[in-house]
Amino acid sequence: MKLLQKFKESWQPKAIDPPQVDPDLPHLDGITRSAESIRYSILSIEFWISRNGQVREWLKHNTHLCVWLAIPALVVVPVITFILWHVSRWATMLTSITGHLIVLPILALVAAVVILVVVSIAKALLK
């Protein structure tokens, strides 16, 4: 509720003055004349869409929101990605170690059985 009230307080659109062509337009060089024509066209469209300035105010608020969301995204997300990548590598190494630790007792048991069989065969042959 407090956020909505703060938003309503900051929402203050101002009326837009009608755009006017630069009086020196015929005396400008080609590139400057083109830039002035584009500026006038954009301002005319803005004036046509919203004379009371609500679109400009809406764009201003959304730009602020975008910046406030982009800063943490660009600062925090790479750090989280880096941490998750290391955790993933760590989990992979633990899985590998665990797999080798499971194989070791099995191999020791097989070796003990083989030694027991060889000793039994040697005893049987020496009797």
What is the residue-level pLDDT of the chain in tens, covering all 127 positions? 676 777 677 777 777 778 888 888 788 888 988 998 998 998 888 888 888 888 888 888 889 889 989 998 899 999 999 999 999 999 999 999 988 888 888 889 999 999 999 999 999 988 7
Q: Model pTM?
A: 0.47
- CA 24, CA 17: separation in Å to the nearest integer? 20
Residue 75 backbone phi and psi in degrees, to 5: -95, -45
Q: How many residues does the chain have?
A: 127
34: closest CA among 44, 22, 45?
22
Rounded to 10 deg, the angle between the 30-49 and 54-126 helix axes is 90
Give me 63's structure tokens. Answer: 């730009």
DSSP state of 27: G
